[in-house]
Amino acid sequence: KAGVTQTPRYLIKTRGQQVTLSCSPISGHRSVSWYQQTPGQGLQFLFEYFSETQRNKGNFPGRFSGRQFSNSRSEMNVSTLELGDSALYLCASSLPSTGELFFGEGSRLTVL
Amino acid sequence: DQQVKQNSPSLSVQEGRISILNCDYTNSMFDYFLWYKKYPAEGPTFLISISSIKDKNEDGRFTVFLNKSAKHLSLHIVPSQPGDSAVYFCAASAATTSYGKLTFGQGTILTVHP
């Protein structure tokens, strides 16, 4: 069974640009969550989607947005990039009635 | 306000001995707790979980203990192996609202020496 797939794995952007990250969940998983990992703040929850609806949102500015498609694939977008957005962005999927999140390998974003 | 805390940034253990990783939480709404293991440049890997209706859960070499009155949980690894060397995160959720929203601790770096 294929795991959670995130693309791209690595990317470099400059301040002010925008970026879109993609996540394909495990087959059959309809819940997708996004997390940001930085050395200073650790792993922080961004948002959660279930059946194309945002179910929860973390404490991030509006520059961070996401969406989920009917096939459960999800994308997150960060606009007007800042240096502090440099981080590992992790996507996780789960079955709706269980608490075990399965994480992808992440997308490493560097903002110059 | 850090709702989940892992007060030990690192732990060093000899192979074959027990590793005990600790975690404290402050939010009384948390009712589901998980431990994840993470290697550099990889996503976290789920290890074991426990619901607040239990005080212990075992899976092979891994046992998680939950003390609700103290708002404390711990992960025991017995026996420890060099391959267990990684960063361990505890996480919590208020499952009645959403399983997908986990609050993570800062992590503990476990090093198991041969």
Chain B contact present for A56, CB below 8 A: yes
Query: Do A56 and B101 count as a contact with CB atoms less than 8 A apart?
Result: yes
**A31-53 pLDDT per residue, tens:** 999 999 998 888 999 999 999 99
The answer to whether A80 touches A16, Cβ cutoff 8 Å, is yes
**A58-108 pLDDT per residue, tens:** 999 999 999 999 999 999 999 999 999 999 999 999 887 677 899 999 999
Query: Do B100 and A101 count as a contact with CB atoms less than 8 A apart?
Result: yes
Chain B contact present for A76, CB below 8 A: no
d(Cα B53, Cα A26) in Å, to the nearest integer?
A: 28
A24, A30, A43, A53: best to mutate for the B interface, most B CBs within 10 A: A43
Sort out which chain A residues have CB atoms less than 8 A from B34's CB and list them: 99-101
- A96 prior amide bond cis, ω within 30: no
d(Cα A85, Cα A112) in Å, to the nearest integer?
A: 10
CA distance B101 to chain A (A): 6
